Amino acid sequence: MKKGRDWWWDELMEAAPIECAAEPVEANEPGVVFYTSGTTGKPKGVVHSGIAFLVNNYVYAKYHMDHHPHDILWCTADIGWATLQIWGIVGALSNGVTTVVFEGAIDYPTPDRFYKVIHKYRVNKIFTSPTALRMLMRHGEKVMEPYDLSCLEVIALVGEPFSPEAWHWTDQKLGKGKVYINNTWGQTESAECPLASAAWLTPMQPGSCGVQFLGARADIVDDQGNPFPPNTVGNLVLREPIPMMLRTLWREPERFITEYFTKVPGAYFTYDAAIKDSHGHFWVLGRVDDVINVAGHRLSTMEIESVVMECKGIAEVAVVGVPDSIKGLVPVVFVTLRSGYKPSDYRRREIRRRIESRISKIASPRSIFFTEALPKTPSGKIMRRLLLELSTTGRVQGDVTGLEDVTTVEKVRDVVQSA
């Protein structure tokens, strides 16, 4: 014990008053720090205001999910991820909603685990990821038949592009045509979803991330910040802050300015590529690096993935652009199949034919790999940077601590090396 530094708890409590008044805190003071790694550089500590985190979450969650006090929400994200803190804790509890917290994979130990939880707790609001829904597709519809899922009302999701094929499966098979599907876009830095729909109020468009939401002003621009016309691929930026926008990076104020506010002067740069249609709906295609330049043609990896998902028997797909001495970059496709389907040269030819006919021969992939599983984070995001490493070097040197199952890397590596 060092005098003036160390104290005995029991002695302090003897002299402590029974009542303790709340300490006034300025609304913009730091309240929470989330770390996000990205694909390059050391992890960033994203600082959010505690008061804004509560206020913005209350409003956005209320209208994104159509929350009411009787609701039972299940956010399937891992408990250590920002998504669960945003939707499953603060967004739910501030609206008086009962929340289900679940640890582990939603299809373990059996593929019906997801449906069993909904049935048991009568969950009527789900917040999940596109990857999780594609995984459920992979297991087929028979596993859901023993369970009563009629309680479902709203299914919202975030994390990566949501293909129209997966949207229709969610609508017709999981929701029986009676649920509102709210695909959203947000980042750790925004902590909420400035692109989204208001459940039951905004018309649904399969695959869309919705419209710019309350207080948000988004734009699609070129590299100089000039606005693009509708239906043109460009950089997604936010012209004005929302209350829950990050305040700084923990102990890195210079990096905060450099990373987010120097790419397009006067705007927050998201590092995502997107399209805005003529009706005001946004379609986020993925990270800027996921829009690959093949022989002078800008191709969206999400567009290629959506086309592959149209092929029979496909459960999940991930596309990365790998270096090519002639074309600059070329696509490489990773596929997992639904239950009852097996890899074959015929299936590989069908995927290639579909890509060439729907997009262009320019988009024809160098390789198509069938694998049992894809490397994912606990919240369900496919870690495409690991697939890129495996495609180019045959091994992974980057950080894998965020993987839900590290053995998936070994499985994919074996498939790539045996090709």
Q: What is the DSSP string of 12-41?
A: HHHHS-S--PPPP--TTSEEEEEEE--SSS
The reply to whether 281 and 302 lie within a common domain is no
Instruction: Return the pLDDT at 174.
Output: 97
11-20, 313-322, 376-385: the lowest-pLDDT one:
376-385
- How far apart are alpha carbons 209 and 92 in whole angstroms? 21
* Domain-located, residue 56: yes
Query: Does 120 score more than 60 pLDDT?
Result: yes
> Which of 287, 312, 340 lies at the terminal end of a domain, its last residue?
287
The reply to whether 217 and 108 lie within a common domain is yes
Structural domain count, the chain: 2
> Which of 233, 253, 287 lies at the terminal end of a domain, its last residue?
287
Characterize the bridge pairing of strands 30-36 and 44-49: antiparallel
CATH code for the domain in which residue 202 is found: 3.40.50.12780
Q: Tokens 């909603």 map to which residue?
A: 97
Of how many residues is the chain composed? 419
The reply to whether 248 and 325 lie within a common domain is no
Q: pLDDT-derived band of residue 303, with 50, 70 and 90 as boundaries? A: confident
Burial of 341 (0-12, 13-18, 19+ CB in 10 A): middle
Q: pLDDT-derived band of residue 296, with 50, 70 and 90 as boundaries? A: low
In the chain, what's the furthest Cα-to-Cα distance? 79
Contact 278, 224 (CB under 8 A): no
* Domain-located, residue 23: no
Q: pLDDT-derived band of residue 40, with 50, 70 and 90 as boundaries? A: very low
The reply to whether 309 and 277 lie within a common domain is no
Instruction: Return the pLDDT at 289.
Output: 66
> Which of 265, 287, 309 lies at the terminal end of a domain, its last residue?
287
The average pLDDT across 210-227 equals: 93
The reply to whether 279 and 308 lie within a common domain is no
Dump the DSSP string for 241-274. --TTS--EETT-HHHHHHHHHSSSTTSEEEEEEE
The reply to whether 276 and 206 lie within a common domain is yes
Instruction: Return the pLDDT at 283.
Output: 92
The reply to whether 227 and 306 lie within a common domain is no
Q: Domain range spanning residue 330?
A: 295-418
Average pLDDT, the chain: 90
The reply to whether 230 and 328 lie within a common domain is no
The reply to whether 277 and 311 lie within a common domain is no
Cα angle vertex 90, ends 88, 92, to 5°? Answer: 55
The reply to whether 217 and 339 lie within a common domain is no
Taking only the tens place, the pLDDT of each residue in 162-181 is: 888 889 999 999 999 999 99
Taking only the tens place, the pLDDT of each residue in 356-411 is: 998 888 899 999 999 999 998 776 778 888 998 899 888 887 777 778 888 999 99
